[in-house]
């Protein structure tokens, strides 16, 4: 850890220069060693430089800062966190000697005259001097009882030692160790707490109280430091959260955002040159309603403004001091010109390094949006597509036989199930038609029953396949996922220039994403777009696929039924509320967001702004279940028209065949009659 040290000189007037110097550096944690009598000038200067907001932390090493009456410094102290150390107990010992009590009274009066904004208290230095003189007196008394101690003239410029000095120190140490923790065995009451000295005469086994002072809760003990136990924090996290919640009540937070419907948009008409108001009533959108619900629970007020450059935020380079310089909303948070940033602001590693984020209020990922392919024109013989055609037999039209109806006593009998009748029977069963032939034997009945069961399953399966094929709109997309997109050259693809999506591809290590970014960079004019609406416009009018966040993909595909999402998500991330690094409000905001998620309030807002806002009916309600790429369609004449053609052709063919058979039979009959004559 490095520290930058500058000297505070009130008389020379350089103190203001020192404060300006730290202000320009953007430092927010200070270790301050300034006399208590100069605290007024210190806070006045800090207030003029806007260095007393809640992001600043001041740790005072000067005694008695904990006794400052901050009600008199309120105009110059708006929210910084002050930490001070205390050695002297606030309450005087109960058995304090009258002469000591009078001494304390005069010191307090003099201190209050010199520093009017201090509470009535005994200065720490005076208490230490009081106790030191009494301990020295005790040591001298004890030493003179056993030895005649005489003062010896010494020259301060020489290194000669007083011969009785070590003896006196030993008696002073012995006097301190002979007393208990309440100092009851001493002949005086210490003002600086229990006194215990080590072998060298240094004070040991004492506690330094650590006090924290906030403008909204006053002073309270944060913990203490002990020589043996080290630092001990007695303040718990629950108490801290309650203090932060209390500090937010009726406080006005500066919120930076950008217009990006449905997340944020201004609901008033602006005249040329007119600036949007900061009143949240004039703003609307998913993020605005979310912020209003958080505000209602925590009790703070909102002052909204649009980010000047209209950017989310990206690194521009490094400043003279070596710090990163960002633009957009991230830059405003880093410069402390805004307390919150709310929009479709993605949580990324680079942003998390320079600002703080709340827990995500919405999860998302990168996805591809592309226009739906044209519907295939149905074929006239669509109903034949499910068939797998193969030849099973040949059918003969000559089935005539002589049943010997005139000779009922003849011993010649014929089996009706010859080869042609057997085939006819099986085909009739397959087509679920009667053949007027009934099996008589049990064996043939068993075989026939098995065949009937088989044809039942086959015909039912064909019927289901035929219905599914004819009632589903087949739309074959040229790309199915990001790998298909990266391996082809016919469809141009791109992303929003700048922002989290751009950085995702820019820093990608996966070969597919890396090659895609190289391709887009080499064709930047054709691939990169300046805004999401521009990307959507190119998808609709060109052979172009746009890679964007899934929340926007869902928003646009719900409103334009010509668009669809291709494949799944490329990554996983979330939107969060941005705050300056070290902001005390991050945890309470995150806790409130989790509470709203638990009550499904955020999901209700999502349904409102994605499926109901500025839309008559979502596209997934029009085309079928959400995500269905093949919506069902009513079976029409265009799909089964071929069946009517085959029926007509069959009728014509049967008439032609009947005519030929009639002619053939007539010729055969004429020849037979002529032969007989």
430 pLDDT band, cuts 50/70/90, is low
Return phi, psi of residue 4, to 5°. -110, 120
DSSP state of 612: I
On whether the CB atoms of residues 512 and 483 are closer than 8 A, the answer is yes
Indicate the range of 529-533, 553-557, 580-584, 639-643 predicted with least confidence.
Answer: 639-643
Query: What residue numbers does the annotated binding site cover?
Result: 346, 351, 500-501, 549
On the CB side of 490, CA atoms within 13 Å amount to: 4
Assess whether the region 245-365 and the region 477-571+616-623 belong to the same CATH fold.
yes
DSSP states along 435-465? -S----SHHHHHHHHHHHHHHHHHHHHHHHH
The residues spanned by each domain of the chain are 15-150+162-237, 245-365, 382-401+416-470, 477-571+616-623, 642-677
Q: What residues are designated binding site for L-glutamate?
A: 346, 351, 500-501, 549
In the prediction, which pLDDT does 146 show?
80
Q: Please indicate, yes or no, whether the overall pTM of this predicted structure exceeds 0.85.
A: no
- For domain 245-365, the CATH superfamily is Periplasmic binding protein-like II (3.40.190.10)
- The three state secondary structure string of 11-33 is CCCCHHHHHHHHHHHCCCEEEEC
Residue 124 has pLDDT above 60, yes or no: yes
Please report, for residues 231, 405, 572, 661, the alpha-carbon distance to residue 398 in angstroms, rounded to integers and kept in the order given.
111, 20, 73, 10
CA–CA distance, 538 with 225 (Å, rounded to integer): 66
Q: What is the pLDDT of residues 439-479, one digit of tens each?
A: 665 555 655 666 666 666 667 767 776 776 666 555 567 88
Reduce the DSSP state of residue 417 to 3 states and report it: coil
* Cα R_g (the chain), whole angstroms: 47
Superfamily of domain 477-571+616-623 in the CATH hierarchy? Periplasmic binding protein-like II (3.40.190.10)
Lowest mean pLDDT among 185-194, 572-581, 611-620: 185-194
Residues whose CB is less than 8 angstroms from the CB of residue 593 and which lie 6 or more positions away in sequence, other chains included: 294, 358, 359, 361, 577, 602
Backbone dihedral angles phi then psi of residue 393, each to the nearest 5 degrees: -170, 170
Assess contact for 380 and 618: CB atoms under 8 A. Answer: no
How many CB atoms sit inside 10 A of residue 236's CB? 9
22: pLDDT strictly greater than 70: yes
Q: Give the rounded percent of residues in the chain with a pLDDT score beyond 90.
A: 25
């Amino acid at each position: 850890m490095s520290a930058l040290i500058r000297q505070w000189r009130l008389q020379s007037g350089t103190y203001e220069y020192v404060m300006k110097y730290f202000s320009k550096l953007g430092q927010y944690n200070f270790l301050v060693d300034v006399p208590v009598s100069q605290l007024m000038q210190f806070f006045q200067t800090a207030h003029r430089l806007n260095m007393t907001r809640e992001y600043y932390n001041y740790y005072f090493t000067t005694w008695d800062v904990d006794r400052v009456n901050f009600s008199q410094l309120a105009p110059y102290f708006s929210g910084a966190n002050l930490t001070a150390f205390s050695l002297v107990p606030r309450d005087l010992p109960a058995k304090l000697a009258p002469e000591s009590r009078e001494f304390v009274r005069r010191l307090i009066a003099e201190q209050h005259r010199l520093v009017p904004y201090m509470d009535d208290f005994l200065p720490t230095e005076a208490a230490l001097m009081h106790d030191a003189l009494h301990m020295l007196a005790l040591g001298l008394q004890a030493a003179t009882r056993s030895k005649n101690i005489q003062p010896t003239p010494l020259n301060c410029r020489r290194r000669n030692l007083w011969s009785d000095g070590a003896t006196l120190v030993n008696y002073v140490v012995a006097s301190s160790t002979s007393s208990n923790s309440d100092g009851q065995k001493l002949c005086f009451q210490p003002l600086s707490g229990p006194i215990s000295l080590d072998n060298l005469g240094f004070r040991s086994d004492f506690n330094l109280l650590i006090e924290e002072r906030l403008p909204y809760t006053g002073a309270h003990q944060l913990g203490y430091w002990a020589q043996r136990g080290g630092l001990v924090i007695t303040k718990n996290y629950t108490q801290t959260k309650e203090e932060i919640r209390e500090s937010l009540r009726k406080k006005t937070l500066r919120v930076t955002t950008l217009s990006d419907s449905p997340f944020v948009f201004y609901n008033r008409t602006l005249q040329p040159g007119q600036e949007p108001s900061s009143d949240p009533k004039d703003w609307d959108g998913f993020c605005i309603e979310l912020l209003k619900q958080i505000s209602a629970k925590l009790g703070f007020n909102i002052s909204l403004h649009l980010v000047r450059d209209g950017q989310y935020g990206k690194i521009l380079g490094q400043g003279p001091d070596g710090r990163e310089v960002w633009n957009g909303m991230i830059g405003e948070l880093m410069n402390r010109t805004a307390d919150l940033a709310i929009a479709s602001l993605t949580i990324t590693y680079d942003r998390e390094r320079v600002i703080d984020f709340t827990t995500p209020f919405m999860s998302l990922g990168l996805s591809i949006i592309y226009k739906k392919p044209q519907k295939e024109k149905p074929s006239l013989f669509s109903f034949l597509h499910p068939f797998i055609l193969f030849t099973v037999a040949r059918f003969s039209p000559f089935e005539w036989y002589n049943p010997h109806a005139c000779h009922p006593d003849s011993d010649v009998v014929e089996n009706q199930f010859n080869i042609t009748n057997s085939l006819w029977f099986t085909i009739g069963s397959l087509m679920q038609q009667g053949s007027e032939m009934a099996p008589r034997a049990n064996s043939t009945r068993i075989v026939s029953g098995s065949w009937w069961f088989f044809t039942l399953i086959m015909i039912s399966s064909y019927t289901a396949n035929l219905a599914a094929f004819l009632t589903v709109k087949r739309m074959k997309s040229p790309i199915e996922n990001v790998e298909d997109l990266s391996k082809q050259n016919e469809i141009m693809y791109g992303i929003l220039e700048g922002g989290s999506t751009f950085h995702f591809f820019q820093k990608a290590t996966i070969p597919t994403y890396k090659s895609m970014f190289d391709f887009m960079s080499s064709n930047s004019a054709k691939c990169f777009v300046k805004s999401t609406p521009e990307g959507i416009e190119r998808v609709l009018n060109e052979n172009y696929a746009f890679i964007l966040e899934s929340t926007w993909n869902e928003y646009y595909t719900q409103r334009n039924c010509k668009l669809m999402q291709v494949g799944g998500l490329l990554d996983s991330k979330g939107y969060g509320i941005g705050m300056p690094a070290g902001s005390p409000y991050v945890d309470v905001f995150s806790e409130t967001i989790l509470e709203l998620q638990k009550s499904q309030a955020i999901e209700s807002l999502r349904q409102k702004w994605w499926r109901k806002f500025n839309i008559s009916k979502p596209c997934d309600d029009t085309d079928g279940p959400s995500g269905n790429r093949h919506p069902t369609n009513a079976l029409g004449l265009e799909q089964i028209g071929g069946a009517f053609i085959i029926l007509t052709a069959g009728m014509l063919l049967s008439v032609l065949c009947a005519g030929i058979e009639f002619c053939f039979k007539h010729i055969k009959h004429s020849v037979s009659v002529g032969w007989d004559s």
